[in-house]
A and B are shown apart, each in its own frame.
Chain A
Amino acid sequence: MQRRNFVKATAVTIALAAAGFITQPAVAADTIKVGILHSLSGTMAISETALKETALMAIEEINAKGGVLGKKLEPVVVDPASNWPLFAEKARQLLTQDKVAVTFGCWTSVSRKSVNPVFKELNGLLFYPVQYEGEELEKNVFYTGAAPNQQAIPAVEYLMSKDGGSAKRWVLLGTDYVYPRTTNKILRAFLKSKGVAEADIMEEYTPFGHSDYQTIIAKIKKFAGEGKKTAVVSTINGDSNVPFYKELGNAGLKATDVPVVAFSVGEEELRGVDTKPLVGHLAAWNYFQSIKNPENDKFIKQYRDWAKKQKLPKADTVVTNDPMEATYIGIHMWKQAVEKAKSTDVDKVIAAMGGQTFKAPSGFTIKMDEKNHHLHRAVFIGEVKADGQFNVVWKTKGPVKAQPWSPFIAGNDKKKDEPEVAKAK
């Protein structure tokens, strides 16, 4: 009797398990999985957490309108914890275990470099939403942030102009990894082409998470005191920016004396800083929250409502910024491409991406280049205001085509402006 019961129970259990096993893929087939690969802890969490929220918000928006190809999107969020090798592991997990159709993720170039081989090997699809140093063109990646000619070069040109303060001496300050090093290499070559002498350029690097900027500020002051007008170009990334700007404010280095232009500091990073001493310092981006147009009003409102609904910390003061906009554009363009290709197949989507357009919150209709996997974007330069927002002081007339291979690096003129496609086997 007991034995028969046991057999029965086992049989039922197995049947149930089998049923569960079979139904699971059936459920999964009704949705399209979308990977979100952003650091939610560690030094980069300050910047990347908001991108996860933006991605989830955009996915919800798309789902509310019926999803993609009649299927709902299902976000899969992982936390690579600002740990570069972990990015590769998590990317592999997303592609092999969760079988995501597309991944939105990464901030630092070192994290992108660590996942690139994974996406290449498994033929995945990554949307990278942050401005970066260029020098890369992967078939499996779409770059929705700026290339150097869409951010760094215009910013330096602005500082050289009369309105920017006619800077003659340059401090290139950054966190010690691939993005600042490469950007500064490009900027150094660019400055030399404009006749700036070697002695008038100072280059300094600090480790990730560095929090003691006394020496650096003292050095900048000394360098700036040697005569000509000096400007600082900062490629400091992550939470080091908070102690850097605090020290800058405490040391009384004003923007009218030595302006600092930053490439990785936006509205989100300045939330943790008292911005009153920082008025006039600059940032260059392709989007600012302060830009006024109906799309942007809608975008800001959508994110504020989302923050309230999700009960994000300090939901009443959330801000939007450039990489968030780039994430938002990326998700919508991917949706359009999938609808055009009528499939989520990576190769078909890549083919359909070229030439997609989207009316972006920055006020322009943004186009994905037909060939080079980068967006055509307008460039804005903003000055920090006392309330932590940016006042746009300069902008391009319209969208600029990206040059992932900077003409200021030797040998780049021979490189093709489209990804190398592996030869058919």
Chain B
Amino acid sequence: MIPRIFLLLMLLLGCAAHAAPNPALVRQLAAEESDDKIAAIQKLALTAEPEALAVLQQLADGSLKDDKGEDISINNRVRRELEGALAVLKLIDPDPVVRFAAVKEIAGNVDAAMAPMLAKARDRETVPKIRALLVEIHAAATLKDPDPQVRIAAAKSLASSADPNTQAMLKAQSEPANETEVEVRRAAFQSYLAVKDRLTLAENIGRVFSGLSLGSILLLAALGLAITYGVMGVINMAHGELLMIGAYATYAMQGMFRSYFPDHLDWYLLAAVPVAFFAAAAVGVLLERTVIRWLYGRALETLLATWGLSLMLIQAARVIFGAQNVEVANPTWMSGGIEILPSIVLPLNRIVIVGFALFVLALVWALMNKTRLGMFVRAVTQNRAMAGCVGVPTGRIDTVAFALGAGIAGLGGVALSQIANVGPDMGQGYIVDSFMVVVLGGVGQLAGAVWAALGLGIVTKFIEAWSGAVIAKIVVLVFIIMFIQKRPQGLFALKGRFVES
């Protein structure tokens, strides 16, 4: 750690000399033992020459070669040391983005001896976001200062932190075994409580978000089913396979973009949305016209027939695309995450999927409530015979509604391809969840499906956090069975007059 401080001092004083890096040191970077490598890194970083830094950066990127022309490999310990050294050097970089990353890197690895240098860096810093972080790191570095007053000040200024490491440090500082001064202990404990509250809040935000994310996936999977099951009473066991078709359509679009528009590869997903919709809708029409329409009103037979269809579709996918999972990559704009607080990162792909679910929901809502087709569909749902009497072409509406449900399942498949594995039997895992959502929400109800999906998502995530994924699945299933016993019509029941079938 000591060399880093000198290095920082030299940088801040602006006295970096220019010379080619010592070849012996560079050769030592290729040493067998990690200790030798680390020693060489520290010595090289100490020179603070741009050439030496370039060499270190190459080592970090894995492009530095040894005498034999082979890449020099580093392990995690060396990498940690290297990143720390580079971060200190980057602390005076003119680019605020680089500085911010450097400060974040140092935050995980503070040392008491770095305090004066961090104070200087803090005072030089003009960007408020980086400055706030530097204040925090400086405080963390002075928490063990021999002067109790400095310790109290440090403990107090750490109260605004949201870093789990700070919480652990403050907790240790508030224990009599580590801290003799009562005043410091009190300040540390108060800050500890503040940080803890903030972290608990962050944790709950994280859970609600992951619940929303799971809920939006359930919603996308179940929305199509809500229409087909709700409108036509068709228990479509092949619904999961319609999701699978949507996912494979995404895969196919990715392949097409890779071969024909490699420059626009990042946007294949947008092109996949309509393609997946129409591919799944076309299969839906085919299923409805050839099989399902002959079985209306015979729930058990439809169940068996659609189950058979689902097996056929799975096998078809195996024949066309192979039995193995296929790789669907996240576009670069969906990789990584947004850091809300140091303890929670919201992954971008999940944020996009939540947004996509809202978009699909709005689309379906508008379609069902603002168009003539939607009105017909609702009419048929509520009273098929009467709708037919007043001139609604119920047969055609069935086909269109089924195609719509299938198409929406295809859209769900696009979303799933971004977070789950795409394979021939991927749909099987979602069929039970989809039915759970529809049954819980109330048959034929869009609003019911929405509340049920989000509710199930959030409840599952909170139970998962407490008991693990296996138990959470069981608890949710048991809960739904109990609920349906009490309230067979689901959360929301259709109001109005019905013809009992």
Residues of A in contact with B (beta carbons under 8 Å apart): 40-42, 45-46, 49, 79, 162-165, 176, 204-207, 209-212, 214-216, 218-219, 221-222, 224-227, 239, 242-243, 246-247, 249-252, 255-257, 259, 271-272, 274, 277, 280, 282, 313, 383, 385-386, 391, 393
The one of A214, A215, A225 in contact with B168, judged by C-beta atoms closer than 8 angstroms, is A225
Cβ distance A209 to chain B, nearest Cβ, rounded Å: 6
| New A-B pairs, 19, CB < 8 Å, besides A79-B323, A205-B470 | A40-B323, A41-B318, A42-B425, A46-B324, A165-B80, A207-B469, A207-B473, A209-B421, A212-B469, A216-B469, A218-B207, A227-B165, A243-B421, A252-B339, A255-B76, A256-B80, A272-B327, A280-B79, A282-B76
Cβ distance B82 to chain A, nearest Cβ, rounded Å: 9
Q: Within 8 Å of chain A (Cβ to Cβ): is B322?
A: yes
Known contacts A214-B210, A274-B329; decide if A250 and B425 are in contact (CB<8 Å): no
Separation of A404 and B79 alpha carbons in the complex (Å):
36
The one of A226, A247, A313 in contact with B324, judged by C-beta atoms closer than 8 angstroms, is A313
Cβ distance A86 to chain B, nearest Cβ, rounded Å: 14
Separation of A391 and B470 alpha carbons in the complex (Å):
35
Known contacts A239-B325, A246-B419; decide if A227 and B168 are in contact (CB<8 Å): yes
Could you tell me if A218 and B34 are in contact, using CB atoms closer than 8 angstroms?
A: no
**29 A–B contacts, CB within 8 A, in A order:** A46-B325, A46-B421, A162-B34, A165-B76, A165-B77, A204-B468, A204-B469, A205-B468, A206-B469, A207-B469, A209-B429, A211-B421, A211-B429, A212-B469, A214-B213, A215-B210, A221-B164, A221-B343, A222-B203, A225-B343, A239-B421, A242-B325, A249-B336, A250-B345, A251-B345, A256-B79, A274-B330, A385-B73, A386-B62
* Chain A residue with the shortest CB-CB distance to B167: A225
Separation of A46 and B323 alpha carbons in the complex (Å):
9
Could you tell me if B168 and A206 are in contact, using CB atoms closer than 8 angstroms?
A: no
* Chain B residue with the shortest CB-CB distance to A273: B327
Cβ distance A401 to chain B, nearest Cβ, rounded Å: 27
Which of A251, A277, A383, A385: most chain B CB closer than 10 A? Answer: A251
Could you tell me if A164 and B76 are in contact, using CB atoms closer than 8 angstroms?
A: yes
* Chain A binder among B136-144, B346-354, B379-387, B485-493: B346-354
Residues of B in contact with A (beta carbons under 8 Å apart): 34, 62, 73, 75-77, 79-80, 83, 108, 163-165, 167-168, 171-172, 199, 203, 206-207, 210, 213-214, 318, 322-325, 327, 329-330, 335-337, 339, 343-345, 347-350, 419-421, 423-425, 429, 461, 464-465, 468-470, 473
Cβ distance B58 to chain A, nearest Cβ, rounded Å: 14
* Chain B residue with the shortest CB-CB distance to A257: B108
Q: What residues of chain A lie closer than 8 Å to B468, measured between beta carbons?
A: 204-206
Could you tell me if A41 and B425 are in contact, using CB atoms closer than 8 angstroms?
A: yes
Interface of B is mostly: helix
Separation of A210 and B470 alpha carbons in the complex (Å):
10
Known contacts A250-B347, A251-B345; decide if A227 and B327 are in contact (CB<8 Å): no
Separation of A280 and B424 alpha carbons in the complex (Å):
32
Separation of A22 and B337 alpha carbons in the complex (Å):
68
Could you tell me if A250 and B168 are in contact, using CB atoms closer than 8 angstroms?
A: no
Separation of A312 and B75 alpha carbons in the complex (Å):
34
Could you tell me if A252 and B345 are in contact, using CB atoms closer than 8 angstroms?
A: yes
The one of A176, A205, A250, A282 in contact with B348, judged by C-beta atoms closer than 8 angstroms, is A250
Q: What residues of chain B lie closer than 8 Å to A272, measured between beta carbons?
A: 325, 327, 421
Could you tell me if B465 and A215 are in contact, using CB atoms closer than 8 angstroms?
A: yes
Could you tell me if A239 and B423 are in contact, using CB atoms closer than 8 angstroms?
A: yes
Which of B163, B323, B336: most chain A CB closer than 10 A? Answer: B323
Q: What residues of chain B lie closer than 8 Å to A163, measured between beta carbons?
A: 34, 75, 77
Cβ distance B417 to chain A, nearest Cβ, rounded Å: 11
Which of A206, A212, A246: most chain B CB closer than 10 A? Answer: A212
Q: What residues of chain A lie closer than 8 Å to B210, measured between beta carbons?
A: 212, 214-215, 218
Cβ distance B282 to chain A, nearest Cβ, rounded Å: 25
Q: What residues of chain A lie closer than 8 Å to B465, measured between beta carbons?
A: 215, 218-219
* Chain A residue with the shortest CB-CB distance to B164: A225
Cβ distance A43 to chain B, nearest Cβ, rounded Å: 8
Separation of A252 and B338 alpha carbons in the complex (Å):
10
* Chain B residue with the shortest CB-CB distance to A82: B425
The one of B214, B329, B335 in contact with A250, judged by C-beta atoms closer than 8 angstroms, is B335
Q: What residues of chain B lie closer than 8 Å to A222, measured between beta carbons?
A: 164, 203, 343
Q: What residues of chain A lie closer than 8 Å to B419, measured between beta carbons?
A: 211-212, 243, 246
Q: Enumerate the 5 nearest inter-chain pairs by beta-carbon distance, A residue then B residue, closest first.
A: A225-B164, A250-B347, A227-B168, A214-B210, A41-B323
Q: What residues of chain A lie closer than 8 Å to B163, measured between beta carbons?
A: 225
Could you tell me if B206 and A205 are in contact, using CB atoms closer than 8 angstroms?
A: no
Separation of A320 and B381 alpha carbons in the complex (Å):
56
Could you tell me if B330 and A45 are in contact, using CB atoms closer than 8 angstroms?
A: no
Q: What residues of chain B lie closer than 8 Å to A277, measured between beta carbons?
A: 336
* Chain A residue with the shortest CB-CB distance to B76: A280
Separation of A271 and B329 alpha carbons in the complex (Å):
11
Cβ distance A307 to chain B, nearest Cβ, rounded Å: 13
Q: What residues of chain B lie closer than 8 Å to A259, measured between beta carbons?
A: 76
Could you tell me if A215 and B345 are in contact, using CB atoms closer than 8 angstroms?
A: no
Q: What residues of chain A lie closer than 8 Å to B327, measured between beta carbons?
A: 271-272
Cβ distance A160 to chain B, nearest Cβ, rounded Å: 13
Separation of A256 and B171 alpha carbons in the complex (Å):
24
Known contacts A214-B461, A222-B164, A256-B83; decide if A393 and B75 are in contact (CB<8 Å): yes
Cβ distance B321 to chain A, nearest Cβ, rounded Å: 9
Separation of A45 and B203 alpha carbons in the complex (Å):
36
Could you tell me if A250 and B79 are in contact, using CB atoms closer than 8 angstroms?
A: no
Q: What residues of chain A lie closer than 8 Å to B349, measured between beta carbons?
A: 250
* Chain B residue with the shortest CB-CB distance to A211: B420
* Chain A residue with the shortest CB-CB distance to B83: A256
Known contacts A41-B323, A212-B214, A250-B337; decide if A242 and B79 are in contact (CB<8 Å): no
* Chain B residue with the shortest CB-CB distance to A223: B164
Separation of A29 and B296 alpha carbons in the complex (Å):
56
Q: What residues of chain B lie closer than 8 Å to A393, measured between beta carbons?
A: 73, 75
* Chain B residue with the shortest CB-CB distance to A206: B469
Could you tell me if B77 and A49 are in contact, using CB atoms closer than 8 angstroms?
A: no
Could you tell me if A205 and B423 are in contact, using CB atoms closer than 8 angstroms?
A: no
Cβ distance B297 to chain A, nearest Cβ, rounded Å: 35
Separation of A280 and B468 alpha carbons in the complex (Å):
27
Q: What residues of chain A lie closer than 8 Å to B473, measured between beta carbons?
A: 207
Q: What residues of chain B lie closer than 8 Å to A252, measured between beta carbons?
A: 336-337, 339, 345
Could you tell me if B77 and A162 are in contact, using CB atoms closer than 8 angstroms?
A: yes
Q: What residues of chain A lie closer than 8 Å to B168, measured between beta carbons?
A: 225-227
Cβ distance A373 to chain B, nearest Cβ, rounded Å: 31
Could you tell me if B421 and A242 are in contact, using CB atoms closer than 8 angstroms?
A: yes
Cβ distance B52 to chain A, nearest Cβ, rounded Å: 21
Q: What residues of chain A lie closer than 8 Å to B339, measured between beta carbons?
A: 252
Cβ distance A91 to chain B, nearest Cβ, rounded Å: 20
Cβ distance A199 to chain B, nearest Cβ, rounded Å: 13
Separation of A314 and B188 alpha carbons in the complex (Å):
58
Separation of A210 and B433 alpha carbons in the complex (Å):
13
Q: What residues of chain A lie closer than 8 Å to B73, measured between beta carbons?
A: 383, 385, 391, 393
Could you tell me if A383 and B75 are in contact, using CB atoms closer than 8 angstroms?
A: yes
Separation of A216 and B468 alpha carbons in the complex (Å):
8
Q: What residues of chain B lie closer than 8 Å to A206, measured between beta carbons?
A: 468-470
Could you tell me if A224 and B164 are in contact, using CB atoms closer than 8 angstroms?
A: yes
Separation of A277 and B347 alpha carbons in the complex (Å):
13
Separation of A383 and B79 alpha carbons in the complex (Å):
12
Q: What residues of chain A lie closer than 8 Å to B322, measured between beta carbons?
A: 313
* Chain A residue with the shortest CB-CB distance to B84: A256
Cβ distance B81 to chain A, nearest Cβ, rounded Å: 9
Q: What residues of chain B lie closer than 8 Å to A385, measured between beta carbons?
A: 62, 73
